[in-house]
Amino acid sequence: MPPFLFSASHRNYWPGRGAVSVLLSRAPPKTFASLNPIENIAIGMIIVAGSGKSSFYVALGSSYAAGPGLGPRVPGSPFISQRTIGSYPELLARLLDVPTFRNVRSSGSTVRQVLQGGQFYLGPQVDALGAATRLVTLTAGGNDVRYIGDMTSMAYRNRGGLIGAALDLFRKDIKSAEQRDFDRLASDLRATLLEIKRRSAHARTVVVTYPQLLPPVGSCVDVGLTEDQVKLMRSVGERLARVTREVATGEGATVVDMASLSSGHHACSKEPWINGFKPNKAGSFHPNEAGAKATALAVANVVRGRVQ
């Protein structure tokens, strides 16, 4: 008997043995019309005791892969990681109908923590990889250069209130793109990609860049930032995308460049794929449901038919 059999209609499952992994239903259909993150993905996924082998698809990364604010938390996942059932790796696993899926991405993680662990009590995300892994996705790097953290901090300070006042007490000058440690990010990303190849020699590694967050010119009320702040952070985002592309390409990984593919869908656009500033709610400056679906489809279009 295979390690996991699932009937959505009867909600029956038979777990195998060994390490915990996330395994998916093969129940059709798998079109985006059916990809309601709450109703469809949830019934097709469950955490069970796996066979002890490494999973076919392993998702690594930070909150842009974890998907804060995109539905309920993945059952059994660490609360701090904010992994949700509507994130792009969950949708991608469903689209590709992968036989097994291991989900270790974690909000707040740096690239170095993907490789070495150390994010509170969490170990290295790369420990989920193995010889049987055939697909790896990686979205990380923003935390390494305080991309989202600085935007959120500035937006709260601009808004005022208790949180803004508290942040003002510890206020530091916001660094320009040139002042941020992109050299360290590049080194850590390169080391992580090399480790993925070492652990999963037959896997296809897909590095997904962060989408376009901010408008090409000006600002808007939805992001809560001044035009000068947008200009500064836009330059950080552009350099993050450039460094990610260059390192990933240099190490032979496949790049899905959401920074380019999401052009015109920034937080100030009419059809945003990214949230603006959402005080007191999860998901500020993170992909919304449309963005998660667009990312999953972009990755699926690249790997579909080539994942064996």
pLDDT in single tens digits along all 308 residues of the chain: 233 222 222 222 222 222 323 333 333 333 333 444 333 333 333 332 233 468 999 999 988 888 888 877 777 766 666 778 788 999 999 999 999 998 887 777 899 989 988 677 778 989 999 999 999 999 999 999 999 989 998 998 888 877 665 666 666 778 899 999 999 999 999 999 999 999 999 999 999 999 999 999 999 999 999 999 999 999 999 999 999 999 999 999 999 999 999 999 999 999 999 999 985 566 889 999 999 999 999 999 999 865 44
The residue segments making up the domain with residue 102 are 54-303
Please check whether residue 25 lies inside any domain of the structure: no
Query: Domain tally for the chain?
Result: 1
Please check whether residue 30 lies inside any domain of the structure: no
Please check whether residue 169 lies inside any domain of the structure: yes
Tokens matching residue 90: 């969950």
Question: Contact 142/241 with Cβ under 8 angstroms?
Answer: no
What backbone torsions phi and psi does residue 136 show, to the nearest 5 degrees?
-130, 130
Please check whether residue 76 lies inside any domain of the structure: yes
- Number of other CB atoms surrounding residue 236 within 10 Å: 26
Closest CA to 81 of 35, 40, 140: 140
Please check whether residue 191 lies inside any domain of the structure: yes
- This prediction has a pTM of 0.79
Structure confidence at residue 163 (pLDDT): 67
Helix axis angle for 147-159 and 227-250, nearest 10°, is 170
CATH, residue 162: 3.40.50.1110
Structure confidence at residue 68 (pLDDT): 81
Q: 3-class SS at 197?
A: helix
